[in-house]
Amino acid sequence: MEIEKEVRLGIVGIGNMGSAHAKTVYDGKAEGLRLCAICDVDEKKLSWAAAELPGVKTYLNYKEMLSSGGLDAVLIATPHKLHPVIAIEALEAGLHVLSEKPAGVDIKSVGKLNETANKSDRVFGIMFNQRTNPLFAHLKNMVETGQLGEMKRMVWIITNWYRTQSYYDSGTWRATWSGEGGGVLLNQCPHNLDIWQWIMGMPVSVQASCQYGRYHDIDVEDEAVIYAKYENGASAVFITSTGEYPGTNRLELSGTKGKAVIENGILKWYSMEKDERELCYVLEENTCYEPIKYQEIVPESEGPGHLGILRNFTRAILYGEQLLAPGIEGINALTLSNAAYLSDWLGKEIMLPLDEEEFLKQMKLRQAWEINGKGKKTKEMKHEKQKLGVYSDRWNVRW
């Protein structure tokens, strides 16, 4: 791979996230990364960029930006369904790619993106910034090094994604099958679904129950419960909602040598010297009284977040540093949400890999319902209120 002295970056999409990335890069916070161009179909956002990012070229058409010859890499922060479309074109144009999450709306299109990425020598990353959180990284290491023994169960209650009706009314695309491609699982939870599979790996089956518009006037899900099975018999339970306040964020992993709980910014580790599976068949008592060692792990910070991913992406291009969040791994979190939808729609357990065509068929039925004006979001929506150029705290790890 040819090594550049600096990375000339273009950003497609200057909404909440794209504008924050733009300002961060423009201000020189990601060493070696220089903002050279931005693109958006909204001329008002380009006017904002002209005022806040002087000297940066602006485009209304991303194809023109990709073919301009003045870029080494592109960051994609558009609506979800465009992520794989633009990423494929950028990779084929010889550009490095960093995509916002989720990787897309359906795994078939993301699978095509991964095929293109695997054939390319360009760096392809995804903005899974919660992988930079030291608690999740520590828990991943505990699992990989066997400190918890063989895994038995994961339970993640992540119900502090509360949203009001005003939030859903802020854009016609929001909370629709046609515009966004889903609800809480596809909008709020891609980071959580990614951390789940990053630490535990992918299950062999998924069964889910979704409630659509339980708390809001929307057609997509604002509550979901997922039950997954693993090849070794372990299970995972994932519960999420945008209708509970104050809500909970509690992740618990149980293994044969103890358990770990992350809540309120603290990792609590309960460990045993002996393996429960061995004790089960040698103890003469009716229960276990093995001593438990308790430790608390409190990180000094929450980690570098978005900036950490930007810096890592840049160093991967310049120096060959290993990506913390490779783009091809984006399909895993999306597989979990796609499987959850399909399980609920068909009312059955879904074995992985799931049937891509059946998912698309079922999705198109719901999109057609909306297009024909039968959905709940038929009234005129408010203009979305956006604060450009700063990272919202909505996407921080929320305890």
Average pLDDT over residues 97-126: 98
Query: What architecture (CATH level 2) is domain 7-129+304-326?
Result: 3-Layer(aba) Sandwich (3.40)
Residue 397 pLDDT greater than 80, yes or no: no
Q: Which residue type does 131 have?
A: R
Strand 235-241 to strand 221-229: parallel, antiparallel, or no bridges (unpaired)? antiparallel
pLDDT given for residue 392 in this prediction: 67
pLDDT in tens, 239-278: 999 999 999 999 999 999 999 999 999 999 999 999 999 9
Residue 383, Cβ density class (10 Å: 0-12 exposed, 13-18 middle, ≥19 buried)? exposed
Intervals of CATH 3.30.360.10 along the chain: 131-302+333-374
The span from the CA of 99 to the CA of 274, in Å, is 44
Dihedral angle of Cα 154, 160, 166, 169, to the nearest 10 degrees: -10
| Domain ranges in the chain with CATH number 3.40.50.720 | 7-129+304-326
Exposure letters 182-192 (e unless 16+ CB within 10 A, then b): bbbbbbbbbbb
- What's the pLDDT band for 394 if we cut at 50, 70, 90? low
CATH architecture for the domain at 131-302+333-374: 2-Layer Sandwich (3.30)
Instruction: Specify the range with the lowest mean pLDDT, choosing from 110-124, 183-197, 371-385.
Output: 371-385
Would you place residue 1 in the very low, low, confident or very high pLDDT band (cuts 50, 70, 90)?
very low
| Token pair of 83 as six digits | 């992520």
Over residues 99-108, mean pLDDT: 97
Q: What is the pLDDT averaged over residues 102-130?
A: 98
Q: What is the rounded average pLDDT for all residues in the chain?
A: 94
Q: What percent of the chain has pLDDT over 70?
A: 95
Closest CA to 230 of 196, 200, 199, 190: 200
Rounded to whole angstroms, the Cα distance separating 239 from 222 reads 11
Mean pLDDT of 76-95: 97
Question: What is the torsional sign of CA 123, 128, 133, 138?
Answer: negative
Q: Are 76 and 85 in contact (CB under 8 A)?
A: no
Write out pLDDT tens, residues 328-382: 999 999 999 999 999 999 999 999 999 999 999 999 999 998 877 777 765 454 5
Is residue 102 over pLDDT 80? yes
The strand pairing partners of 139, in sequence order, are none
Residue 190, preceding peptide bond in cis (omega within 30° of 0): no
102, amino acid identity: P
